[in-house]
Structure 1
Amino acid sequence: MSLLRQGTWRIIDHSTSGLYVRAIDSFATDDTLCAAVGGGLSPAVARAWVHKKTVVMGIQDGRLPYLQKGIDYVHSQDYDCIVRNSGGLAVVLDEGVLNLTLVFPEENGKIGINKGYDAMWELICHMFRDFDQEIEAGEIVGSYCPGSYDLSIHGKKFAGISQRRIRGGVAVQIYLDVCGNAADRAALIKEFYARARGGEETKFVYPEVNPAVMASLSELLEVNLTVEDVVGRFLQSIKSFSDELVSGGLSGEERPVYESYLERIQERNEKLGI
């Protein structure tokens, strides 16, 4: 049975409120929800979130030889810059990029890594099932933050999926390039790596970003989508996989856990001088 089929889904919509806080807030929030779901304190969670212009680095990016030069460039382009508390590599957030998080209870290790990724892929296919376009999963070489579950149409990537596990909870996150200029976003990351790597050989292989292999859903589906449109599709799809929907932000019990996770992420960023 599909992981998406849940008796109850808890819906949290931060697609508007997220514009007024830094992106580190969302990573602390997802860690909190992961612990809550894993601990049986919350049903499965489906969360939408959007932030203003931010480059979100992965842990490996923090090891770039000239990292500060890359960060300075990002800031010069009027983007915030943070490092998240998980693997993967740099991605771009802005008001045309919708992020979705699904949080499941792990249930004694029954959710394999691929099963979590497959659930998100299934959700995205369901959300856009009215379009006659196949959404494929597989690494798109030349994209930023490449991975085996890059989502693409006609070989052009519009989304990347990551996964995080905490205390018996599984959080699967995706960024969806909904509208705006995907090539410009890719060019920003390309220049970030050029400056932060400085032409030096590194043990870790960072992507050689090619803006031509990335596109927005609006471009690929040839329709003017907005983030609000896609949030609506997200909520309708989640509803179809559930007997009950409940909504609400972090509970009083979850709030101190959130503060603790936020402090950890802030400390990681401070160590890198961000």
Structure 2
Amino acid sequence: MKDTKDLLVQERWRVIDQSVSGLYISALQSFGMDDTLCTSVGAGTAPASARAWVHQRTVVLGIQDTKLPFLKEGIDFLQEQDYEVIVRNSGGLAVVLDEGVLNLTLVFPEKEKGIDINRGYEAMWQLVKDMFADFNQEIEAREIIGSYCPGSYDLSMGGQKFAGISQRRIRKGVAVQIYLCVNGSGSERAELVKHFYELSKKEEETKQVYPEIIPEVMASLSELLQVNLTVQDVMLRFLQVLQAKSEQLFTASLSPEEVPLFEGYNERVIERNQRVLGE
């Protein structure tokens, strides 16, 4: 695991904490923000950066979801349940965000050698294992069939998924993103997505493959560890691990040079959503 350790060990880690402020802004901004960090970290104008973000009730669709034959019915259902619906600018499928889901992004500069895609995933897996090492529970990384947004780096305990990892790469910057279901009911979130797919796909044959969701295979960390964890508890664990991996850990917001970058990326994300969702 030496390579993985190398990625997490950075001379300086800048932390952008939107675990509270994110509740007051649209999740769309998070995707513009990660693209901004990818660009500035990749260009070497900003240090390795870690971002924490939490948003109100939102279902984030992947591009593939927008090809569902009865998408409007599915979106109408989610909106009736009081969820905002947005489309992210990267692959994958639908995921649920709410006040009990902590999202973390690690942004690395891709140096001369480059960062192999699995190495990015392994770094995030290692981070989560370190964050919960005191529970002495095995955290596996493998696809959990029946979960929403399944992938080969689903994180699970005892066959129940609590997190999913994705990656985005822009101009020599690598953003590795994870959603951690901290508290609340993992199966209720899965039930919501299951219903969305049932309404959006019906019995129609589709070129794309969509997950057949089994709600029981998903759980939150609080359910799995049988403790009442809050997002702030998990934030503290996150910061402690990064602190141990760097000579300097500091919190900051975007630099003056990054602000116009963010405005441009954010505009693009908004325009894409308007185009795709016809709003």
Asked if Structure 1 and Structure 2 have the same fold, meaning a TM-score greater than 0.5 normalized by the shorter chain, the answer is yes
TM-score between both structures, scaled by the size of structure 1? 0.99
Aligned to 1:181: 185
Q: 2:137 aligned with 1:137, yes or no?
A: no
TM-superposed CA distance for 1:132, in Å, is 1.6
Q: 1:9 aligns with which of 13, 34, 43?
A: 13
Aligned to 1:121: 125
Q: Deviations over 1:97-152 (max 9, x none)?
A: 00000000011352100000000000000000000210000000000000000000
Q: 2:78 aligned with 1:39, yes or no?
A: no
TM-superposed CA distance for 1:48, in Å, is 0.6
Structure 1: gaps (5+ residues)? none
TM-score between both structures, scaled by the size of structure 2? 0.97
For 1:1-274, what aligned pairs fall within 5 Å after superposition?
1=2, 2=5, 3-271=7-275, 272-274=277-279
Structure 1 CA distance, aligned partners of 2:262 and 2:231? 26
Structure 2: gaps (5+ residues)? none
SS at match of 2:102: strand
Structure 2 CA distance, aligned partners of 1:142 and 1:198? 17
SS at match of 1:215: coil
Name the aligned partner's letter for residue 93 of structure 1.
L
Instruction: State the identity %.
Output: 64
Structure 2 CA distance, aligned partners of 1:26 and 1:166? 15
Structure 2 CA distance, aligned partners of 1:198 and 1:215? 26
Structure 1 CA distance, aligned partners of 2:47 and 2:109? 8
TM-superposed CA distance for 1:182, in Å, is 1.0
Residues 185 and 223 of structure 2 are in contact (CA less than 8 Å); yes or no, is this contact kept in structure 1? Answer: no
Q: Deviations over 1:47-106 (max 9, x none)?
A: 110000000001101111111111100000000000000000000000000000000001
Name the aligned partner's letter for residue 39 of structure 2.
A
Structure 2 CA distance, aligned partners of 1:256 and 1:154? 45
CA RMSD of aligned residues (A): 0.8
Name the aligned partner's letter for residue 67 of structure 1.
L
Residues 104 and 177 of structure 2 are in contact (CA less than 8 Å); yes or no, is this contact kept in structure 1? Answer: yes
Name the aligned partner's letter for residue 273 of structure 1.
G
SS at match of 2:260: helix
**Number of residue pairs aligned between Structure 1 and Structure 2:** 274
Alpha-carbon distance change, 254 to 190 in structure 1, aligned in 2, over 3 angstroms:
same
Name the aligned partner's letter for residue 24 of structure 1.
L
SS at match of 2:126: helix
Structure number with the higher helix fraction is 2
